Amino acid sequence: MGEKKSSALFNLIAPIYGLFYNYQKKRYVGTVEIVKSEMDISSFDTVIDAGCGTGALCSVLKDKGMNVTGIDPVIKMLNIAMSKPENKEIEFIQANALDGLPFKQKSFDVAIASYVAHGLVEEERKRMYAEMSRITRNYVIIHDYNNKRSILTTIVEWLEGGDYFHFIKNAEPEMKDCFSEMKNCFSEVRVINVGVRANWYICKPIK
Ligand SMILES: C[S@@+](CC[C@H](N)C(=O)[O-])C[C@H]1O[C@@H](n2cnc3c(N)ncnc32)[C@H](O)[C@@H]1O
């Protein structure tokens, strides 16, 4: 899906998305617990959530004691995130991960993007991976679908018109081979299953 179409869609569905905020928070609390023995994200100080949407994951990471920045190009998603009293100490910035983010190299310990990658086309994904790698010191985490499809996800993703069907077949090799802006995106990619239909793709940024 093109950038403009994607922003229009998320501006339109932001109020509906917002209804699932508490449900999403519970799911993200569970995810962080599931992966804790292999990747304790809360052992790091600073994190940026790229494509933070309505801020559910940001909120969970804040509760874990992290210093959290959330970026998203869609103002109506951000407005919901910022309207939550518990998110007062989170810095939310309207920005697009494909345009070059307003942060210096290696500004954050960890960068995470949750359910953003599958909505981008391959070339955009690579640009986002490269940009996340640039601003991160330790790990880039891509939280997204694995290749186990459900009927509901299949229908929703078909309607959304993103790159879901291609993404789930190629996610890991695409990250391993990712080359953008004349250099590799990651030096290492590890995959942890975090639920029936989701993985954490844990990537080491290029030094
Ligand atoms: C499916 S939602 C996921 C939101 C949130 N991460 C969550 O888990 O609820 C995808 C989000 O990615 C954002 N997004 C899409 N393209 C983006 C880009 N190029 N840079 C940053 N965010 C983007 C959308 O605006 C939307 O908020």
Domain ranges (residues) in the chain: 3-205
Mean pLDDT confidence for 136-157: 95
DSSP annotation of 21 reads H
CA dihedral 186, 160, 153, 19 (to 10 degrees): 100
Mutation probe of ligand 1 site: the residue of 17, 26, 49, 72 with most atoms within 8 A of C-beta: 72
Q: Please report where in the chains the tokens 């959530």 appear, as a residue.
A: 49
> What is the CA(119)–ligand 1 centre distance, in A?
8
Q: Structure pTM?
A: 0.96
Q: Does residue 1 surpass a pLDDT of 70?
A: no
Per residue, the 3-state secondary structure of 107-132, as one string, reads: CEEEEEEECCHHHCCHHHHHHHHHHH
Task: Enumerate the β-bridge partners of residue 139.
Answer: 110
Mean predicted lDDT score pLDDT of the chain: 95
Q: How many angstroms separate the alpha carbon of residue 72 from the centre of ligand 1?
A: 6
How close is the Cα of 182 to the center of ligand 1, in Å? 25
Angle formed by the axes of helices 164-176 and 122-134, nearest 10°: 40
- Range with the poorest average pLDDT among 34-38, 161-165, 174-178: 161-165
Question: Residue 80 in contact with residue 14, Cβ under 8 Å?
Answer: yes
Q: CA-CA distance, 78 to 100, in Å (whole number)?
A: 19
Percent residues over pLDDT 70 in the chain: 99
What element of type H or E holds 175?
A: helix 164-176
Radius of gyration of the chain (CA): 16
Q: 128 with 97: CB under 8 angstroms?
A: yes
d(CA 61, CA 112): 11
Contact present, 125 and 86 (Cβ < 8 Å): no
- Which fold, 3-205? Rossmann fold (3.40.50)
pLDDT at 2 over 90: no
Residue of the CA atom closest to atom 13 of ligand 1:
51
- pLDDT band at residue 201 under the 50/70/90 scheme: very high
